[in-house]
Amino acid sequence: YLDIGNVLNTSPGITEQTLDRLDDRVAIAHDRIEEGREAEEHGYAALNLPQTVDTDEIRSALEPFGTPEAVLTVGIGGSALGAATISDALADQTDVEAHFLDNVDPEDTAALLDSLPLDETVLNVVSRSGTTAETLANFLVVREAMEDAGVDWTEQTFVTTGDEGNLRNLADKHDLPSLRVPDGVPGRFSALSTVGLACGALQGIDIEGVVEGARSEMDKLSGSLEDSPGYAYGAVAYALAERGALTNAMMPYAESLEYFAEWFAQLWAESLGKEGLGQTPARALGATDQHSQLQLYRAGPRDKLVTLVRPREREDIDIPETDLEGLSYLGGAGLGDLLDAEFEATEASLAAEDRPNIRIEVDAVDAHGIGELMYAMEAATVMYGELAGVSTFTQPAVEWGKKAARGLLGGGEFEEADAVADKREFT
């Protein structure tokens, strides 16, 4: 469910005439996207995942591991955030803890390794390229920690990677159970593939439901923004960015969607930040950030779109009745009722100042709901990219940084590393 009423005639904002014109452009972009999907072109192929991913294949590849106590996913960017979003959203479905090692902060890694039952943990290593320094370094560190703890890491390691690269070589050498990253699916669009679903499957999460939710959203893709919430969101965000809304604050009202905001930020920034264009994603969390960032959103520069996301249903906790003076209004309501009131208060407070905001709702944060939401945001990103005319599925700036870091560590001759020596200093 998408409500764009609060972007009409706001500042910045769009008019109903703009929406009509956008609708014509969406129809053209939709044709291009359909062409790409049919030909399974790089990137566009990701929008087919709800019908091409094989969840039985994922489950049977993971059979040797049974039900572990914990899953430690080692991967970064698109090789971690999709899985983290699904695990976080559906944590109530499982007792198997999911941990993610993406960064290479030694103190954090040491603390995590100390806290894990390594003999009962499945190490889930994910890298599309199979060459990413952070992921391989973390893998080597965890492997050594397992060996030191007397654990046979080859019995507890699962790999998802491409057909080539260091990680594929390692999986072949040790005959590790593994899955392939599908062709044509860029890292940040891989949440609904082997990359994003293996962790949930190891946890016993309903990954089939996630795919079904995504499929229901895929079936809505059409040449009119009225039929497709994903396209409508992407098109409206694009039109607002053109009018100066250069920041998009993604603000879910559910702790279980905190990772979703992080995943969205990667998808949006890495796909659309090209050629001087794009919209900077900001991460916020309702109601917590009503007590901090909302001040800026309502009264700061008129350069923002605020996206408010919530489930329509959630399990609630009653707030106890009280005779404490002034607090009786809370008694009898639920914490969820309070959170909903906060949501509506934020929406109204922005609208009252003509600040553009969009409401996105799912029925619940369940498997279906998170699948719908993630697919809709992927479709939105692709639509925005088509309208802006950028190459949504490449990430040259990210690759630049990867090469520079490798070059600095002596991992090859990369001209990007030389640029580090030319850094401008003024101290």
CB of 349 to ligand PA5, least distance (A): 35
Contact segment (CB under 6 A) with ligand PA5 among 181-189, 296-304, 333-341, 366-374 equals: 181-189
User: Does residue 45 interact with ligand PA5 by CB under 6 A?
Assistant: no
Count of residues near ligand PA5 by CB under 6 A: 15
- CA dihedral over 255, 256, 259, 262, signed as positive or negative: negative
CA angle 308, 387, 19 (to 5 degrees): 60
Closer to ligand PA5 by CB, 121 or 127: give it: 127
Question: Residue 85 interacts with ligand PA5 (CB under 6 A)?
Answer: no
Tell me whether residue 402 is one of the annotated catalytic residues.
yes
**CB of residue 203 to ligand PA5, shortest distance in Å:** 21
CB burial class (10 A; 0-12, 13-18, 19+) of residue 27?
middle
- Name beta bridge partners: 2: 360
Judged by phi (left if over 0) then psi (alpha if -120 to 50, else beta), residue 341 lies in alpha
Active site residue 423: no
**C-alpha angle 419/105/135, rounded to 5°?**
75
Report in angstroms how near the CB of residue 85 gets to ligand PA5 at its nearest.
14
Cis ω for the linkage preceding 12 (within 30 of 0): yes
Two tokens at 80?
């971690």
- 124 lies in the binding site for ligand PA5 (CB under 6 A): no
Looking at the Cβ atoms of 279 and 392, the one nearer to ligand PA5 is 392
- 369 scored as a contact of ligand PA5 (CB under 6 A): no
We find the least distance from the C-beta atom of residue 398 to ligand PA5, in angstroms, to be 6
Residues 6 or more apart whose Cβ sits within 8 Å of residue 76: 102, 103, 127, 132, 134, 135
Question: Can you say whether residue 241 is alpha, beta or left, with left for phi > 0 and alpha for psi between -120 and 50 degrees?
Answer: alpha
Q: Tell me which of 127, 156, 193, 357 binds ligand PA5, using CB under 6 A.
A: 127
Closer CB to ligand PA5, 132 or 178, in the complex: 132
Q: Which residue lies nearer to ligand PA5 by CB, 128 or 215?
A: 128
102 binds ligand PA5 (CB under 6 A): no
Binding-site string for ligand PA5 from residue 389 to residue 418, where x marks contact by CB under 6 A and - marks none: ------x--x--------------------
**How many Å apart are CA 235 and CA 20, to the nearest integer?**
11
* 10 is a site residue for ligand PA5 (CB under 6 A): no
Handedness of CA 86, 92, 95, 99 (dihedral sign): positive
**Catalytic status, residue 291:** yes
Nearest CA to 248 among 103, 89, 377?
377
Q: Catalytic residue, from 63, 291, 315, 423: name it.
A: 291
CA–CA separation, 167 vs 135, rounded Å? Answer: 10
Alpha-carbon distance 297 to 345, whole Å? 13
Query: Which CB atom, from 129 or from 248, has the smaller least distance to ligand PA5?
Result: 129
Of the residues 270, 342, 361, 372, only one is catalytic, namely 270
Report the residue number, 132 or 248, with the smaller CB distance to ligand PA5.
Answer: 132
Report the catalytic residues: 270, 291, 402
Positions in the binding site for ligand PA5 (CB under 6 A): 76-79, 127-129, 132, 135, 186-188, 270, 395, 398
